[in-house]
Amino acid sequence: MAVATPARSSRSRAPEAAHAFRSADELHEVFARLFETLNRDDRVGPLLQAARLRMRIVCPDVRGVIQVWPGEDSGAYLEWRFDRRGGVKPQLELTMDSDVLNEWMQGRESVPMAIAHRRMKCSGEARVALLYLPAVKLIAGPYRRLIKSAYAHLVL
Amino acid sequence: MSDEVISLNEAARRAGVSPATLKRWAKQKVIPVRDDRWTAAAAAQARVVSRMRERGHSLGSLRRAVRDGRLAFGFVEELFPSTRRTISVEDAARRTGLEPELIERLMALLGTPTAREGILTEQDAAALDGIARALAAGFPLVALLQMVRVYAQNLRKVAEAEVRLFHLYVHEPLIREGVDAIEMSEEMEGLAGDLLPLTTPLMEYIHTRYLRFYIEQDVVGHMETEFAGDPQIGRISMAFCFVDLTGFTRYTEEEGDEEALDLVERFVEAVEDTLPSEATIVKTIGDEVMIVSRDPVTLTEWAVGFLGLFGERPQPRVGVHYGQAVYRDGDYFGGDVNLAHRVVARALGGEVLITREVVDAIGDSEYLRFEPIGEVDLKGFPDPTELFIVRPSTH
């Protein structure tokens, strides 16, 4: 049966990642501020803690690493560090350039599409991604507010 | 309105039983009456009791149900507009200009049994007025009938979900706490009274949002592509995709119903959250999701990426076919849809299986490679179907 073939999706990426973080320092600064905000948020914080988020995000373009896990005895909803040492063994590791991370955090990148387009790699206990994806949605609002207030170059 | 004090005769009139019957029921504590104060709420519950009696329930069983709070929902009836005023189908036909046969058909579509008795309420007549105006404005009858069916089927599900969820999360906990029947009824009516006015604006909001989304899709010319070279009205070229979880039955047996249901909810939510913007979920049936998209490229890429998120059982599997279907009643029908469904049934967990039509529609892909598995006999299709496993491209 002859059917009309649609035009290919035109969601192509810019040659230079215009909305990438400028450095690992900036990446870590933004996420430290974000996690601090979430730790003060009595609505989102407990939900993230309950999701048992144990994730490592690696951004090779800026050589940045984010490790985040639920607070246990510290009284905080989340704990984090910005290197590979210490912390809690992550269940899920996602590797992506910082512009992809920025898009994902703003709800503009779909994880499966990013994986399919080789913009993101997923390793670890893949099944927990199913638990973490909805949890990460909770971060989008605070993240957007944060970058809008202080990191305009990251706003999409 | 439930605490509105009314006379015994008025309560009897509202309940549709005699005052003597009402007093007997009050004495036997099947309707909540304190200090001979007859209220609209008590009359509402009496109507429920009357219906239960007609269905053969004894006063003893009703008394136990009242004591346990299981009839407390009767109070909520007072929140709805009265439907006591009725008109005949013939009168409605004269009023709206619609043929009586069409009214009967519309009422059957709307799932309103009163049409069988030839009696309509004022609300029915008002709905028919709206339908008549839509027809007078030039909307084709065949499309309008489909639209009415879609509204009725989907809003029936909405109403059913509202009542069931209210029952599960409000009524049952009150019963378990042993709350007094009258107190329970008042509490439920208070909550329902607060919630009910919120539902219509919320539904309007969601409806408007989706309407805007589909109008945008239409306006930007996606539909032009779909109809290209296709003179048949109502037939649409689409990629049809089914996703389900392999080993789900065994998972349910091993992990229990609640855990399995949680998994399905998370799975469907993950599908909804991650689909490309031009793809849409048509329906979900248990652990199976039917998706359509005008773009087989992004849909197939999504499927490959989505399966990359699952490493353990129960693993999803995906079947995609590109073809044509008849769009009716908010759903897609036809051989190509059935074929897509057969394709997913042949996939193993973790596999994306597609037909030759999808391969041709995608063409060269930077991200995907297609491994032919040969021609496969699919149930219900006389000719073998060429199938391909899709994998991420390695170059």
Helices B122-136 and B89-96: angle between axes, nearest 10 degrees: 30
Q: Is residue B79 part of a domain?
A: no
Beta bridge partners of B324: B237
Q: Is residue B283 part of a domain?
A: yes
Q: Is residue B262 part of a domain?
A: yes
- pLDDT (tens digit per residue) in B14-73: 888 889 998 888 888 888 787 788 887 778 778 878 877 877 788 888 887 777 766 665
Instruction: Please say if the pLDDT value at position A16 is more than 60.
Output: no
Q: Is residue B297 part of a domain?
A: yes
CATH among 3.30.1050.10, 3.90.1010.10, 3.90.1150.10, 3.40.50.2300 for A24-151? 3.30.1050.10
Q: What CA–CA distances, in Å, run from B292 to B68, B219, B279, B324?
A: 47, 18, 6, 11
All residues of chain A having their beta carbon less than 8 Å from the beta carbon of residue B335 are none
Residue B273 tokens, joined: 């959250």
Note down the domain range covering B273.
Answer: 228-392
Q: Is residue B254 part of a domain?
A: yes
Domain limits, chain A: 24-151
pLDDT at B72: 64
> In total, how many domains does chain B have?
1
Count of beta carbons in the 10 Å neighbourhood of residue A115: 26
Instruction: Please say if the pLDDT value at position B289 is more than 70.
Output: yes
Contacts of B360 (CB under 8 A, 6+ apart): A5, B322
- pLDDT (tens digit per residue) in B190-245: 777 788 888 889 999 999 888 887 787 666 555 545 555 554 666 788 999 999 98
Beta strand B235-245 pairing with B288-293: antiparallel
CB contact A112 to B (< 8 Å): yes
Instruction: Please say if the pLDDT value at position B130 is more than 50.
Output: yes
Nearest to A116 among B266, B270, B305 (CB): B305
All residues of chain A having their beta carbon less than 8 Å from the beta carbon of residue B274 are 110-113, 133
Which among B232, B268, B273 is the top mutation candidate for probing chain A, defined by the most A β-carbons within 10 Å of its own β-carbon? B273
Closest CA to B360 of A11, A2, A12, A112: A2
Percent of chain A that is helix, strand, coil (3-state, to 5): 40, 15, 40
Cut 0.90: pTM above it: no
All residues of chain A having their beta carbon less than 8 Å from the beta carbon of residue B301 are 112-113, 116-117
> Is ipTM strictly over 0.90?
no
Closest CA to A144 of A106, A108, A109: A106
Q: Is residue B373 part of a domain?
A: yes
Distance CA A29, CA A152 (A): 14
CATH code of B251's domain: 3.30.70.1230
pLDDT at A140: 87
Distance CA B68, CA B286 (A): 33
Q: Are the CB atoms for B320 and B352 separated by under 8 Å?
A: yes
Q: Are the CB atoms for B352 and B330 separated by under 8 Å?
A: no
